[in-house]
Amino acid sequence: MKVKYITRIAILASVSSILMYIEFPLPFLPPFLKIDLSDFPALIAAFSMGPLAGIAIELIKNIVHLVASSTLFVGELANFIIGASFVGIAGVIYKFKKTKGGATVAMLVGVIFMSLIAIVVNLYILLPLYAKAFHMDIDAIVGMSQVANSNIVDLKTLIILGITPFNLIKGTLISLITFFSYKKLSAFFHTHDKKELK
């Protein structure tokens, strides 16, 4: 059982690591915010193996991504904290109510919780750390963001009009993909479980 657990985490972490390199910006959001689907395998793991499995995949994929980091590790730290908060809380809720309705509630709460965590950590940790790492001030980051949205004029509006919509969109997209694919993926896991037990 331990070997099977580790093997599944390794496979899902590998997929997650690959997906992390496939990213795209949204035209109305700051250019340094890019959507990727690397939280999808982590959410699958959180639902099928428990929240700690999902968090482990979030950690592994970001460690793997460090070798190609262009953000001086700040982006990977942000991705881990916010992604882990999403799959962690969703996995905990689903653990106690393993139904389609339970999954829906779990993902909804996960998206909201992730977005709230993102507000706090960006405001007090990530954006100041990013500015320090690149020898910039917050005004420069705000200026970069104005290219996409002229209504972003300070840190507060960057959080409200940039960071928050980004996480809501990303979380919703990953939740929808998970909602429509989890049953098939879960059936695959359970099929292999039954074969191993025979």
Each residue's pLDDT tens digit, 141-177: 999 999 999 999 999 999 999 999 999 999 999 999 9
CA triple 48-37-71, angle to 5 deg: 120
pTM over 0.85, yes/no: yes
* 26 located within any domain: no
CATH of the domain at 6: 1.10.1760.20
User: Do β-strands 23-25 and 34-36 pair in parallel, antiparallel, or remain unpaired?
Assistant: antiparallel
CA–CA distance, 157 with 59 (Å, rounded to integer): 30
Counted domains in the chain: 1
Domain that holds residue 158: 2-21+32-193
Each residue's pLDDT tens digit, 5-49: 899 999 999 999 999 999 999 989 999 899 999 999 999 999 999
Note whether 82 and 121 are within 8 A (CB). Answer: yes
CA–CA distance, 196 with 136 (Å, rounded to integer): 55
- When pLDDT is cut at 50, 70 and 90, the band that residue 188 belongs to is low
- The pLDDT value given to residue 101: 95
How many Cα atoms are found within 13 Å in the side-chain-facing hemisphere of 31? Answer: 6
CA–CA distance, 120 with 52 (Å, rounded to integer): 23
